[in-house]
């Protein structure tokens, strides 16, 4: 099955997908992480995507859909997948449904609900590991040693799109498309909603219940 984790920028998709993947063994596939890897590698796809990401806009569908389809064709994605950051508009959701229409695999969505003020606070205090991708928060989830990744000891950085003006652009440009995707899954009876506010472990427990109800168990 494919569990689509929906949420605004900063809702906690990456944090929760990582934990849910560890708990269930499902593959965690994140379009933002795939784009950042392409940018680090200096590939043509990365160069093309970076201008949209730094402007807080969605990368064009053709590029994004081709990239995610190539990733989902890999062996570790053959069974259970947690999708983080895709689909992000109705065209992407329709492409995902079409790709699996005859596969017998179910596609279900869970929305992490977080208010706008909290999103802004989370994004501006986030630090990330450029090597393994783990997210930290200066107050809510600090690393054990200041500025160093707990997992791989790499120095942490601030994501370029977490600058205050880019955070504002991301929220302004992307929330209505998210709403359309939420509506699409709700209208087809495939949406669960989870309160994304509160300690990370509490959100994790709520999400585990919703994911299990959707068919993703350990
Ligand atoms: P992407 O990397 O997916 O960014 P995003 O959707 O904006 O989401 P974030 O990664 O910023 O937040 P998150 O929900 O993962 O939160 P996190 O767990 O880190 O995409 C980046 C860009 O790529 C897009 O803007 C777009 O340009 C492009 N792109 C990606 N996918 C695309 C697509 N499908 N189509 C087109 N373009 C695409 O948590 C945030 C912070 O809060 C962290 O500091 C964390 O420690 C903290 N935190 C988490 N949970 C809690 C909690 N419960 N309490 C307190 N703090 C918490
Ligand atoms: Mg993320
Ligand atoms: Zn790391």
CATH number at residue 134: 3.40.50.300
Q: Along the 218 residues of the chain, how does pLDDT read in single tens digits? A: 999 999 999 999 999 999 999 999 999 999 999 999 999 999 999 999 999 999 999 999 999 999 999 999 999 999 999 999 999 999 999 999 999 999 989 999 999 999 999 999 999 999 999 999 899 999 999 999 999 999 999 999 999 999 999 999 999 999 999 999 999 999 999 999 999 999 999 999 999 999 999 999 88
Count of domains observed in the chain: 1
Q: Which tokens hold the place of 8?
A: 């605004």
81: nearest Cα among 183, 2, 189: 2
Rounded Cα distance between 127 and 52, Å, is 21
The answer to whether 210 and 110 are in contact (CB under 8 A) is yes
* Inter-residue long-range contacts of 68-72, CB under 8 Å, 24+ positions, other chains counted: 68/29, 68/31, 68/34, 69/99, 71/29, 71/34, 72/29, 72/99
Whether residue 126 lies in the annotated active site: yes
- Which region, left, alpha or beta, applies to residue 41 given φ > 0 means left and ψ of -120 to 50 means alpha? alpha
Quick check: pTM over 0.95?
A: yes
pLDDT of residue 218: 83
**Do 156 and 148 touch, CB atoms closer than 8 A?**
yes
The stretches of 73-215 forming alpha helices (DSSP H) are: 90-100, 116-124, 164-187, 200-214
**Nearest atom of ligand 1 to the alpha carbon of 200:** 53
Reference 133, options 114, 159, 171; nearest CA is 159
Cα-based distances in Å from 78 to 29, 48, 72, 73: 12, 28, 7, 7
Query: Where do we find the tokens 């160093």?
Result: 148
Q: Of all atoms in ligand 1, which is nearest to the CA of residue 30?
A: 3
* CA 102 to centroid of ligand 1, rounded, Å: 31
Distance 34 CA to ligand 2 centre (A): 11
Is 88 an active-site residue? yes
Ligand 1 within 6 A of 59 CB? yes
Domain residue limits at 107: 2-214
Q: How many CB atoms lie within 10 A of CB 152?
A: 12
């Amino acid at each position: 099955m494919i569990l689509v984790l929906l949420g605004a920028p900063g809702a906690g998709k990456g944090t929760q997908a990582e934990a849910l993947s560890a708990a269930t063994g499902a593959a965690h596939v994140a379009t933002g992480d795939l784009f950042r890897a392409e940018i680090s590698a200096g590939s043509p796809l990365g160069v093309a995507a970076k201008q949209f990401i730094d402007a807080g806009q969605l990368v064009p569908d053709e590029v994004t859909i081709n990239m995610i389809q190539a990733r989902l064709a890999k062996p570790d994605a053959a069974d259970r997948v947690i999708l983080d950051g895709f689909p992000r508009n109705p065209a992407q959701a329709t492409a995902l449904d079409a790709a699996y229409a005859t596969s017998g695999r179910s596609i279900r969505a869970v929305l992490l609900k977080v208010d706008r003020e909290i999103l802004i606070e989370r994004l501006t205090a986030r630090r990330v590991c450029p090597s393994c991708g783990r997210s930290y928060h200066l107050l809510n989830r600090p690393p054990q040693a200041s500025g160093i990744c707990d997992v791989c000891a790499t120095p942490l950085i601030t994501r370029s799109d977490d600058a205050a003006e880019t955070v504002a652009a991301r929220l302004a440009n992307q929330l209505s498309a998210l709403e359309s995707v939420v509506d699409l899954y709700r209208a087809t009876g495939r949406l669960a909603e989870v309160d994304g506010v509160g300690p990370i472990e509490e959100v994790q427990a709520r999400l585990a219940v919703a994911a299990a109800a959707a068919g993703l168990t350990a």
